[in-house]
Amino acid sequence: MTLARVLSTRREVNGEESCRLDIDGRSVSLTGALPPIRAGQWLRIEYEGKRLLSAERVVTTEEVNWAFYGRLKGFERDGALKALGVLGEETHVIVTEQPELLRSVKGVTPSTARAMQNHARRQGRLYSALKELADMGIGPELTPTLISHHGAGAAQFIRDNPYAAITERLPLRVIDHAARRLGISIFDPRRAPALAYETVRLACEDEGHTCLPETVLERRLTEIHALEQEEAQQAIEGAYALGHLKADHRAAYLPRQHLTERWLAEDLVRLHLCQTNLCQTSTVPALDAPHLTEEQARAVALGCVSGVTVITGGPGTGKTTTLKALLDSLEAAGLSTNLCAPTGKAASRMTQSTGREATTLHRLLGYDGSNFGDKPLSGDVFVVDEVSMASNELLGALLRNIPDGKRVILVGDEDQLPPIDPGWPLGALVKTMPLARLTKTHRQAEGSPILRLAHQLIAGEVPARTGVPFQELTSPEQLVGLVKSQEIEQGQRPVVLSAGRQGPLGVSAINAALQEAFNPGEGRLRLGDPVMMTRNDHKRGLMNGMTGEIVSLGKKIACLFEEKVYELAASEAGLLELAYAMTIHRSQGSEWPGVIVTLSHQHHQLLSRQLAYTGVTRARAHLVAAGEREAWTRSALTGFPRRYSMLERMLRE
């Protein structure tokens, strides 16, 4: 087998994995199954031509050293990392056997040297465990949960039963590799329950399900993993018996997802019934609002008497007008309101449209990057806009903190994409909770080409004679030309939306081409680039998905987000990505004066009428449909894949 260093990895548009490797100084691109791997790490491979036949993770001593000494805190950690950068894989040997050599490393103070020695002495068993795990092919980046639960006993835990580690966030193929090194057969009966667990976990993480019906799970185990029907049933029963999975309504859940969905159902019922039981004393009269349509007035009346109210409707149906009238009635009755949305952009739009301060759900709930707060929220009415974007976990965290007798108003468009995270509560709520569905389009919006296209798409009709211009194109260079021809006003360019990240019409290629066309220069990030946050930064109040612009570059990166300048260290550049173009999923909750939506058959696995509908309804005034007609046709004829959830059944119990 050949030793190779990983230069880069990617998932192709057809779903296959590919990598670029350094093999004896040569750059080689291969396609085939990869273990969890990052750039800079090592593989032991077999390959033929451009095809990767097998690949095993090789964990170096240097990686173990970085993981072990990286557990130090503060300035001691900073000094230890400097030592690691100089001493490399010899670091631990020097610390334990030749500590005087540490003093020769620039930047390592005597106190840091002592801290490293003390750490090595006190946590020696942990270092040995990390080394043993590395010898099994389990890299330190995969072990945080395992180490937090088992500490220095982690390696022994794996030796006793590697398949028990499936609930410690270790991928099954990594466990299989470790099991082989321990002499354990792939046919070991302990593997089957782990396979059932992994199948449900991937269904939640990759497809957004909260559970898998037992019949679906059994079918996946037999058709995808070649288990006999009896073996599949035994695997599921084994996972239940071990507590890996939970059964409810003949569906298999991960324990955390089951708890989340159960709590969400209980809190919805609690808030709905509290208000119903109190309605004699808590009914709020709706203010006279002659400008409302009949269905809008009914929605306001419903919100004035219900504990939980769901208001849905497409663009142009007056959700904002209805919500403002409802808020006016509730506030006139002396009730205090809290307005929030899943993203910063959606909260900002909510503030502008209602004239009331809105915030993100994360900020309202005191999210610290790991957990939501658990203190009861103050206020009488809680309004969530763009609720189609809210996952089970996010909506559940809100409802759990709302006291009995308070009102909840959920506003959204049920035809938009479901959230990225597991669950789609809005789909169950429109069938079980008090619902006001707005269907009548405003007179001023009736002739809108954008809405005509949106209505055709969501109805499953192939777009025709909508009035929206279409531009056939297949390359990012053609798209650059289209963007140049579509200047909206005062030099403002349209935002480009695409279904996926990879391929010629994927976000990565489009961003690179637009940056070169409109902001040529050196470096991945340049002064004036539009950028997007890729992770939450709660200390600064910056949320994943927020868009802004780079206003200065140097030792720090200054970015303008929502009319405020924030500074990031150069080492935090990874928090930012270019935002000349973005995926349609990322665009949810936002609107722009001008939008170009480009669809390509290369993203065929992502295409659906909900995706195309969400994209085109991001445009307020100007829209261009682009890409390949075949992709637009496929989108119109393809419904979004079903999301498995038992929330509706739980609410009907």
- Which residue segment(s) compose the domain that 380 sits in? 257-443
Residue 602 has pLDDT above 80, yes or no: yes
Q: How large a percentage of the chain has pLDDT more than 70?
A: 96
Q: Which range among 78-92, 198-212, 289-303 has the greatest average pLDDT?
A: 198-212
pLDDT for residue 551: 94
pLDDT in tens, 517-563: 999 999 999 999 999 988 877 778 787 778 899 999 988 999 998 78
pLDDT for residue 369: 73
- The arithmetic mean of pLDDT across residues 629-640, rounded, is 94
Residue 44 has pLDDT above 70, yes or no: yes
Residue 650 resides in a domain: no
**How many Cβ atoms from other residues are within 10 Å of residue 621's Cβ?**
13
* 272 and 412 together in one domain: yes
pLDDT in tens, 402-412: 999 999 999 99
Residue 174 resides in a domain: no
Residue 182 resides in a domain: no
pLDDT for residue 563: 81
| Of the candidate ranges 3-17, 237-251, 592-606, the one whose mean pLDDT is the lowest | 3-17
| Of the candidate ranges 159-163, 359-363, 428-432, the one whose mean pLDDT is the lowest | 359-363
Residue 645 resides in a domain: no
- The arithmetic mean of pLDDT across residues 149-177, rounded, is 95
User: Of the residues 408, 443, 478, which one is the last residue of a structural domain?
Assistant: 443
* 494 and 627 together in one domain: yes
pLDDT for residue 94: 94
Residue 415 resides in a domain: yes
pLDDT for residue 106: 83
Residue 160 has pLDDT above 80, yes or no: yes
* 570 and 476 together in one domain: yes
* 207 and 226 together in one domain: yes
| Secondary structure of residue 248 in the 3-state scheme | strand
Judge whether 335 and 381 are in contact, CB under 8 Å. Answer: yes
Q: Which range among 212-226, 315-329, 484-498 has the greatest average pLDDT?
A: 212-226
* Alpha helices (runs of H) in 161-287, residue ranges in sequence order: 172-181, 191-207, 214-223, 229-242, 255-277, 279-282
pLDDT for residue 574: 86
* 232 and 262 together in one domain: no
pLDDT for residue 547: 87
Confidence of residue 276 (pLDDT cuts 50, 70, 90): low
Arithmetic mean of pLDDT over the chain: 91
- The arithmetic mean of pLDDT across residues 582-595, rounded, is 91
pLDDT for residue 207: 93
What pTM does this model have?
0.88
pLDDT for residue 279: 47
* 52 and 78 together in one domain: no
* Alpha helices (runs of H) in 283-415, residue ranges in sequence order: 294-305, 319-332, 344-354, 361-364, 392-400
User: Of the residues 218, 233, 253, which one is the last residue of a structural domain?
Assistant: 253
Higher pLDDT, 348 or 381: 381
pLDDT for residue 529: 94
Check which CATH number belongs to the domain holding 229 and give it: 1.10.10.2220
Residue 386 resides in a domain: yes
Judge whether 42 and 51 are in contact, CB under 8 Å. Answer: no
CB contact set of 613 (below 8 Å; sequence gap of 6+): 415, 416, 454, 457, 458
- The arithmetic mean of pLDDT across residues 485-507, rounded, is 86
Length in residues, the chain: 653
* 211 and 225 together in one domain: yes
Check which CATH number belongs to the domain holding 353 and give it: 3.40.50.300
pLDDT in tens, 282-293: 567 777 778 889
Residue 15 has pLDDT above 70, yes or no: no
* 435 and 462 together in one domain: no
- The arithmetic mean of pLDDT across residues 402-430, rounded, is 94
Confidence of residue 281 (pLDDT cuts 50, 70, 90): very low
pLDDT for residue 595: 95
Residue 114 has pLDDT above 60, yes or no: yes
Residue 565 has pLDDT above 70, yes or no: yes
CA pair distance 307, 323, nearest whole angstrom: 15
Residue 104 has pLDDT above 90, yes or no: no
Domain count, the chain: 5
* 15 and 118 together in one domain: no
Residue 106 resides in a domain: yes
* 436 and 556 together in one domain: no
Higher pLDDT, 100 or 167: 167
pLDDT for residue 325: 94
pLDDT for residue 443: 52
pLDDT for residue 2: 92
* 459 and 566 together in one domain: yes
**How many Cβ atoms from other residues are within 10 Å of residue 29's Cβ?**
12
User: Of the residues 229, 253, 277, which one is the last residue of a structural domain?
Assistant: 253
Which token pair is 169? 């966030």
pLDDT for residue 540: 81
Residue 499 resides in a domain: yes
* 22 and 113 together in one domain: no
| Secondary structure of residue 51 in the 3-state scheme | strand
